[in-house]
Amino acid sequence: MTEKSRLTSNVLRFTIPMLDLVNQYNQIKPEIDSAIAEVLASGEYILGSKVQEFEQNIAEFLGAKYAIGVASGSDALLLSLHALGIGKGDEVIVPTFTFFATAGAVSRLGAIPVFVDIDPITYNMDLNQVEEILKKDNHIKAVIPVHLFGLPIDMNRLMKLTEEYNLYVVEDACQAINADIYLNNTSNVSHFTFKSNLNNTSHVSRLTSNVQKAGTIGHTGCFSFFPSKNLGCYGDGGMVVTNDDGIAEKIRVLRVHGSKPKYHHSVVGYNSRLDSIQAAILNVKLKYLNKWTQKRWQVASIYNKEFEKLGLDEILQCPEVTEGHVFHQYVIQVDRRDELATYLKGRGIATAVYYPLPLHLQECFRNLGYQEGDLPVAEKTCKKVLALPIDPELTEEEIRYVVKSINEFINK
């Protein structure tokens, strides 16, 4: 929705959504429509040349050797873990404060999620706690770092730790496409050299510069193209990226029921293919990703500036606008969170809660024996977080209106 359409006569009638995907579509409609029409006329609807083209584009954009299109971000995680040989009884470290799919993929393979609390400032997994677990538990096979809300976790430290314990790393970059990770020059390059059990070779991640894209440092990186993601399609879609020949090949086979050659199945795989229409849409949208990322960053900067002016930035724990962050979400914390959400709704402002309940307290994981109080930072955070509208096209006036409304609520 454009600023203009939010005006009725001379009255400002705000309805500020979290994201306005229809407005985004309208801005690039001719390109999208012709990309879809081309696929419809081609008769090639699943995988095929459009998917291959998109895989090449993404690999190049991210600086990874391989990109393999799959049906969703959830499947990207599932197929990654499967390809790495994670299975029954294996333990996998995951943050408790993330979207369900991060841990769901572990459980679906019969493996056990080991939940870790978060850093209260970055919301990412607490690496001190990861280190403590690794010292005590020798059943851990892999770690899934999540770059939550678009802010990369400290991969320098994580890779050093996981190499020490010889673990697999599956990056959940579903919320962090295009996020930059600054590699520590002083760290030993071998931190990023992995031995692959699959083909007895080792690979070195692209280290031509000391900045790499989120998702290209672990053994695999997983991406989601769910419509509301920073790069979203018009349905479900996902991608696994890897620099490892053996892992790439396994995932290519797993996504087509484990079949290679066709109708010959060496393993039981999945039906997890990316549609040609979604790939064609994503090929168009990828060209705009840098621009949209920059705009999200600007929206976050304006929020911070406006909250600072009112002396609210610390009270609301505004996120730091750091380089590399892609602001999939702009999240604040507030004590009377649900009341504020209702107040803002009354003023035409949408908000969302990511996430209301940490994963270690979800009913489906009750059998793992976690209790309330076990991971207190995440538990407390779940009660206070509120995501504000982050549409890249938000105007300064709209952002100021959101901030002003929050200020009014706080001083009410």
If the CB atoms of residues 274 and 403 are measured against ligand PLP, the closer one turns out to be 274
> Closest-CB residue for ligand PLP?
73
If the CB atoms of residues 97 and 343 are measured against ligand PLP, the closer one turns out to be 97
If the CB atoms of residues 47 and 146 are measured against ligand PLP, the closer one turns out to be 146
| Distance (Å, whole) CA 301 – CA 78 | 35
Distance in Å, CB of 214 to ligand PLP, minimum? 12
If the CB atoms of residues 151 and 406 are measured against ligand PLP, the closer one turns out to be 151
| Distance (Å, whole) CA 27 – CA 155 | 36
The tally of CA atoms less than 13 A away on the side-chain side of residue 157 is: 12
Tokens 């995932």, residue located: 251
Separation of CA 269 from chain center:
24
Distance in Å, CB of 203 to ligand PLP, minimum? 24
Structural contact between residues 159 and 168, judged by C-beta atoms closer than 8 angstroms: no
If the CB atoms of residues 240 and 403 are measured against ligand PLP, the closer one turns out to be 240
If the CB atoms of residues 236 and 306 are measured against ligand PLP, the closer one turns out to be 236
Q: Which residues bind ligand PLP (CB under 6 A)?
A: 72-74, 98-99, 101-102, 146, 172, 174-175, 224, 226, 236, 238
Separation of CA 98 from chain center:
9
Cβ-based neighbours of 41, under 8 Å, separated by 6 or more: none
Distance in Å, CB of 355 to ligand PLP, minimum? 10
Distance in Å, CB of 78 to ligand PLP, minimum? 9
Distance in Å, CB of 73 to ligand PLP, minimum? 2
If the CB atoms of residues 103 and 299 are measured against ligand PLP, the closer one turns out to be 103
Distance in Å, CB of 79 to ligand PLP, minimum? 12
> Using CA of residue 401, residue 10, residue 17, residue 349, what is the dihedral sign?
positive
If the CB atoms of residues 78 and 302 are measured against ligand PLP, the closer one turns out to be 78
Distance in Å, CB of 260 to ligand PLP, minimum? 25
Distance in Å, CB of 96 to ligand PLP, minimum? 13
Distance in Å, CB of 224 to ligand PLP, minimum? 3
Residue 41 to residues 55, 277, 297: CA-CA distances in angstroms? 21, 11, 38
If the CB atoms of residues 101 and 361 are measured against ligand PLP, the closer one turns out to be 101
